[in-house]
């Protein structure tokens, strides 16, 4: 049990390049994959607990004002601040951005197929707990503008959805 099913946070290794938006100003963050790989785009980053039937778990660490850009998941995603305050934002059915501020231990469940993002609203670094539903939560859908910005910053996705580095675009 201890070796295969216990993930001690102090022993976790994070990655700052789990997603294509992590090199874009305002979206820098560290991801700890605790159970399963979730929708992680970094093929080198491995979860602490590999058995992930029906869900995957991650913890996001971000400085004030930073977090994920708008994106879509194929499954439900749940967020709960472990500390601090976090803004969870999404596009409603009219394409207008909405937002809710969550405080420590508040929970939101974002439906599949909804453009969503999140941002640390604390005055200091904070942690956000996230669960993606499904044994295979699929891949993230990004807006074309984020794909282009990521390529300029030196990150691109393979046809299978894995992140890889490319020379940063120069203009």
Each residue's pLDDT tens digit, 89-125: 999 999 999 999 999 999 999 999 999 999 999 999 9
Per-residue pLDDT, 38: 86
Topology (CATH) of 15-152: Jelly Rolls (2.60.120)
SS3 readout for the chain: CHHHHCCCHHHCCCECCCCHHHHCCCCCCEEEEEECCCCCCCCCCCCCECCCCCEEEEEEEECCCCCCCCEECCCCEEEEECCCCEEEEEECCCCCEEEEEECCCCCEEECCCCCEEEEECCCCCEEEEEEEECCCCCCCECCHHHHHHHHHCCEEECCCCCEEECCCCCC
Each residue's pLDDT tens digit, 9-25: 999 999 998 999 999 99
Each residue's pLDDT tens digit, 120-139: 999 999 999 999 999 888 89
Per-residue pLDDT, 55: 94
Q: How far are the Cα atoms of 11, 36, 154, 163 from residue 52, in angstroms, in the given order?
A: 19, 5, 31, 21
Domain ranges for the chain, please list them.
Answer: 15-152
For residue 171, pLDDT over 80 is answered with no
Each residue's pLDDT tens digit, 34-90: 999 889 999 999 999 999 899 999 999 999 999 999 999 999 999 999 999 999 999
Please tell me the distance from the alpha carbon of residue 134 to that of residue 168, in angstroms, as a whole number. 34
For residue 170, pLDDT over 80 is answered with no
Per-residue pLDDT, 168: 78
Q: In the chain, how long is the greatest CA-to-CA distance? A: 53
pTM of the model: 0.94
pLDDT band at 147 (very low <50, low <70, confident <90, very high): very high
Residue 99 contacts residue 88 (beta carbons within 8 Å)? yes
Upper half-sphere CA count for residue 131 (Cβ side, 13 Å):
13
Please tell me the distance from the alpha carbon of residue 2 to that of residue 109, in angstroms, as a whole number. 30
Per-residue pLDDT, 37: 87
């Amino acid at each position: 049990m201890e070796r295969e099913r216990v993930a001690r946070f102090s022993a976790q290794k994070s990655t700052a390049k789990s997603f294509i938006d992590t090199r874009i100003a305002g979206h820098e963050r560290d991801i700890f994959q605790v159970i399963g790989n979730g929708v992680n785009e970094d093929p080198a980053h491995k979860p602490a607990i590999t058995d992930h039937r029906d869900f995957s778990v991650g913890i996001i660490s971000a400085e004030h004002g930073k977090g994920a850009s708008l994106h879509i998941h194929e499954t439900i995603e749940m967020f709960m601040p472990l500390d601090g305050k976090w803004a969870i934002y999404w596009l409603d059915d009219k394409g207008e951005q909405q937002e809710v501020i969550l405080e420590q231990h508040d929970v939101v469940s974002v439906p599949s197929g909804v453009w969503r993002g999140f941002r640390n609203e604390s005055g200091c670094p904070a942690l956000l707990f996230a669960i993606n539903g499904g044994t295979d939560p699929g891949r993230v859908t990004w807006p074309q503008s984020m794909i282009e910005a990521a390529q300029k910053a030196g990150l691109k996705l393979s046809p299978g959805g894995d992140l890889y580095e490319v020379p940063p675009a120069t203009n």
